[in-house]
Structure 1
């Protein structure tokens, strides 16, 4: 781990953290290593590298030349074969404090004041050559190497990192590792494992425990480590005579983790029946999803037989390709070859080469008698996504994705686009060019262009080019489409090559003043009315809800600079529109058959205006449809008292009476004979 500020607590003195990470700009500076006591001062002569500072019990390779005020000198040398343990008495305690602030490659002049050589117990002190306790002693220290020492399993394994690995990723379970290993007995140094290459699967339970405890999850690629392992985590009480390990033998293992193949279990039950091996890494974090069109090289083998030679093709994730399924057959119960390939592609990066191995025995498909392997390289993909709020009807395939752009139009944005519209036949083949424009602008949400274009731009970035696929009802067959006089458009499925050239976002509600909110509230309500008249009830609900979102609130009225009389009228008008929108929402929800939602919407209206006749009527209507007859009766009678001549209310009351009579007759038949 990062060893910065080793040995320091969290103090207010900036020296306490700065002294551990001094860089080139700090050469020549002297900082205190002793928390303000100035007993241990460090002057940087050459900056180090990396982030590690030595910790207690780690090991270091260094040289330290000592000079004091009386001209006495001493040279301390710790080589790779004779490393110093941090905190041992081979260094003065003050020098150890300074050492814990240094980085690999760093050279520093360390000044110790109030130093007592007797603390060291070394030959210099014992010979009487020590300086006075209050004298200043200086060491020029060069820290050559840091060896991290970690205790694992309560010290049963001691891991020394002799060479740091690359990056941050460590070996994981299931991965196939390639190492170079040597081993010797801890007691005698006798070599029982000559240095050689050794490959294994991480997590293999047949291996001694130290592999899982000290290598898997602990070592990085290219790392070299020395493991001192107690017998119970090595070859145990029996040892292994075949390799020369006696019973109950502690061992020292040197492991160099040269490389690995990443392997992931893609099976739902994690039974290792679908193992994906990464043969060459790709780039990026995003993965292909359902419908994405992937440009791949694919080879399929079974045992030693090549079912499909390596060939380049385009495959849509989630599609069932008949030719592939026919050649390979079902690779497992309820798993087609196409489904297996889709599973692999969903877990690959662009540029990655990977292999999916389907374990014939574990999958219960032993009819093949051998594992099936899919080897694929994912060169690129085109994103194919459903356009939100089109009820899965419209899709968007991205041809050009501007990676430096992130913003998208919101509702009511002014959009500038270019597009071409083509017919598509029943088999999905593109036909004639129907309409083309190099530049047109429109306000999103006003449906002045084809509904599929209007919906799709909400999901596009400036400069993006996409192909929009839409059925007739989202194109020229839509009830919203206003045909140009004298121009006949085909009522068929279409593909639209669409480019978003530019857009200006509409203001959000919080950015508007009260007059802008009032205008938007009225506009959205009118748009809802238009959608309702067209029979587009879901779209109408969205517009009415938007109208209520734009309704000014108390804070807006408090800031409004208008006469009090106008303010009262404005408040009343806003309230009327909100109530009307809730009632209209309920009406649309009733048309959609969602009676419970309609009841809730009417209740919201009545919370604002408890005597609103339309709200009582619509809630009574929804309650009647939901067979809540007593509650329906209460609402409808209240509405009838307020509007005694309303024919619709009277009709619903007649319907209520009929339902009550039918329910009474049913109850009589059901319970009539119980007490005879």
Structure 2
């Protein structure tokens, strides 16, 4: 017990059955482990090594159990499997025995009966976990998950100071419970795992201790705690949107490793409620039909759509959805009740079945092109409706289906290239609408890598460069576009806009440099004039900054 209390690193505590004998020949049965030097004992003095072996030989005069890992060969025990009987052979001189001749050896017959895993949870020796019963599977709780835990807390003398009810206690890991470091311990456990913890005072209640109350007895200052703990179960909690506006808590794990995806045909049953429990819709419950829909097609509220795409077949979960991802700030009449404006909603939902949208590699060449064309048209409709974010996703997916992977013939590749270029250009138009100027530059560059003379790509990239104030790069693209199409009206308008912006920028820079070297009174006057110029510029740019619709949308 003392060795475990002072454990400073993660280790395995082995229990072995041993016997030893001296001889001149090696037996042929069982596994053999031979070492020419006793380097595994560590840098102990020879007298200490001899003493260890004398103690061992005295123990072996009777069939006693020996914790051999503490005495010899600790770094080689990982070579022995549970239930294996191994023969370790050492030269008699190095073992500390008196040899009968120069070839004498000492043999240790070792059987690994069992071991207990010991984990240094915080890597500083202040919380040591000894696993008494392994859990099921490899899944461990995350910091958002809800866990059901049983525990008993005792002092070093054995006095129990805290204990959970028979059914355990349920809490969220990141909310904490009992001790500040308990969540860290729980996140190392698997379902059904039982363990013994030794918690140093620094990670318990420290110098102050704890007064009786809240289910605790009084805990003296500087008390070490001994905790028997069991992770009964846990419910995974998923932050679907990444901003905690759509939260999924899994009550029943689904089948297999695959989830639905965007574009999947899904069948679900659910009960939809307000936060106060008022049910406003049921599907697949109480003789109602399950709901069938295609994900990522705006057929249900956004939060439900996003969450369902993460579910496995047979999975049951509670989904909590913020108003921004539900019905917003409008009143909505549903089958069983009215959803007031700004309502948070909750779905108790089960994934009955789904059919995933096929991936590009699952389709033949003709199918890939048809899917790409369909997704591009869907993107066009979304763009015209002002849904630029969703349109951009459609264009991106369409381009993925006809990516250049060597699977298309020459004629098909020509059509695929045209589709890729069209989708990249339309995606760039979406990025400009969304003020994602780096994204627009990237997509236009992809087009120019395959069509260096593409006027639309040069035009849109120049627009993005102007917005990022990379005027020199914008000027280069505009000149290239006019070389290809000297009469292009939109490019000419953009050239005039750039020229004005460059002139304004040069004027401001000149005034800035002048003010840096001017007397203080003159500098104040210049700054005032500069403020007036900026105000005028802001008004002018507001009229000219909007990109021309003539080249923004590519319907090719």
Deviation at 1:601, TM superposition (A): 1.6
Deviation at 1:231, TM superposition (A): 7.8
Q: Match of 1:370, SS? A: coil
Does residue 316 in structure 1 map to residue 172 in structure 2? yes
Relative CO higher for 1 or 2, CA cutoff 8 Å, sep ≥ 6? 2
Deviation at 1:455, TM superposition (A): 2.1
Superposed CA offset, 1:387-429 (max 9, x none)? 3x666542322222244x33433432222222222222xxxxx
Residues 619-658 of structure 1 mapped to structure 2, 5 A cutoff? 619-639=461-481, 641-644=486-489, 650-658=496-504
Q: 2:303, 2:325 within 8 Å by CA — same for their partners in 1?
A: yes
Task: Tell me which protein shows more helix as a share of its residues.
Answer: 2
Deviation at 1:498, TM superposition (A): 1.8
Q: Distance in 2 between matches of 1:232 and 1:642?
A: 98
Deviation at 1:379, TM superposition (A): 1.6
| Distance 1:605-1:150 versus aligned 2 partners, 3 A rule | same
Gaps of 5+ in 2: 1-20, 41-51, 99-103, 209-220, 285-289, 520-556
Q: Match of 2:409, SS? A: helix
Deviation at 1:448, TM superposition (A): 0.7
Q: Choose the corresponding residue for 2:339, options 472, 489, 514.
A: 489
Report the counterpart of residue 34 of structure 2 in structure 1.
151
Gaps of 5+ in 1: 1-79, 88-145, 159-181, 238-248, 325-336, 425-429, 561-566
Q: 1:528, 1:543 within 8 Å by CA — same for their partners in 2?
A: yes
Residues 2-401 of structure 1 mapped to structure 2, 5 A cutoff? 85=26, 146-152=29-35, 154=36, 156=38, 195-198=63-66, 208=71, 210-214=72-76, 216-221=77-82, 258-267=113-122, 270-304=123-157, 306-311=160-165, 312-321=168-177, 324=178, 337-338=179-180, 340-360=181-201, 365=206, 368-387=221-240, 393-401=245-253
| Distance 1:317-1:606 versus aligned 2 partners, 3 A rule | same
Q: Distance in 2 between matches of 1:514 and 1:523?
A: 14
| Distance 1:83-1:503 versus aligned 2 partners, 3 A rule | farther
| Distance 1:211-1:266 versus aligned 2 partners, 3 A rule | same
| Distance 1:83-1:233 versus aligned 2 partners, 3 A rule | closer
Q: Distance in 2 between matches of 1:361 and 1:600?
A: 53
| Distance 1:227-1:193 versus aligned 2 partners, 3 A rule | farther
Does residue 442 in structure 1 map to residue 293 in structure 2? yes
Task: Tell me which protein shows more strand as a share of its residues.
Answer: 1
Greater shift in the superposed pair: 657-666 or 637-646: 637-646
Q: Choose the corresponding residue for 1:504, options 330, 355, 360.
A: 355
Report the counterpart of residue 433 of structure 1 in structure 2.
279
Greater shift in the superposed pair: 303-312 or 345-354: 303-312
Q: How many residues align?
A: 459
| Distance 1:662-1:586 versus aligned 2 partners, 3 A rule | farther
Q: Distance in 2 between matches of 1:275 and 1:503?
A: 45
Residues 458-537 of structure 1 mapped to structure 2, 5 A cutoff? 458-477=309-328, 489-490=339-340, 491-529=342-380, 537=388
Q: Distance in 2 between matches of 1:483 and 1:591?
A: 33
Deviation at 1:297, TM superposition (A): 0.8
| Distance 1:478-1:285 versus aligned 2 partners, 3 A rule | farther
Q: Distance in 1 between matches of 2:27 and 2:506?
A: 91
| Distance 1:450-1:149 versus aligned 2 partners, 3 A rule | same
Q: Distance in 2 between matches of 1:370 and 1:353?
A: 23
Q: Distance in 2 between matches of 1:554 and 1:155?
A: 58
* TM-score of the pair, normalised by structure 1: 0.57
Deviation at 1:226, TM superposition (A): 6.3
Q: Choose the corresponding residue for 2:271, options 396, 420, 436.
A: 420
Superposed CA offset, 1:51-110 (max 9, x none)? xxxxxxxxxxxxxxxxxxxxxxxxxxxxx99998468xxxxxxxxxxxxxxxxxxxxxxx
| Distance 1:371-1:539 versus aligned 2 partners, 3 A rule | farther
Q: Distance in 1 between matches of 2:96 and 2:203?
A: 31
| Distance 1:283-1:486 versus aligned 2 partners, 3 A rule | closer
Superposed CA offset, 1:435-458 (max 9, x none)? 221112112221211222322233
Q: Match of 1:422, SS? A: strand
Q: 2:280, 2:335 within 8 Å by CA — same for their partners in 1?
A: no
Deviation at 1:350, TM superposition (A): 1.4
Deviation at 1:258, TM superposition (A): 4.7
Q: Distance in 1 between matches of 2:206 and 2:109?
A: 42
Deviation at 1:277, TM superposition (A): 1.0
Greater shift in the superposed pair: 356-365 or 499-508: 356-365
Q: Distance in 1 between matches of 2:377 and 2:126?
A: 58
Deviation at 1:593, TM superposition (A): 4.9
Deviation at 1:272, TM superposition (A): 1.9
Q: Distance in 2 between matches of 1:461 and 1:630?
A: 52
Q: Match of 1:524, SS? A: helix
Deviation at 1:475, TM superposition (A): 1.7
* TM-score of the pair, normalised by structure 2: 0.68
Q: 1:514, 1:552 within 8 Å by CA — same for their partners in 2?
A: no
| Distance 1:283-1:553 versus aligned 2 partners, 3 A rule | closer
| Distance 1:420-1:465 versus aligned 2 partners, 3 A rule | same
Q: Match of 1:442, SS? A: strand
Superposed CA offset, 1:170-190 (max 9, x none)? xxxxxxxxxxxx97689xx87
Deviation at 1:591, TM superposition (A): 5.1
Superposed CA offset, 1:272-308 (max 9, x none)? 2221110222221222223222222123345455442
Does residue 597 in structure 1 map to residue 439 in structure 2? yes
Larger Rg: 1
Deviation at 1:610, TM superposition (A): 3.3
Q: 2:176, 2:182 within 8 Å by CA — same for their partners in 1?
A: no
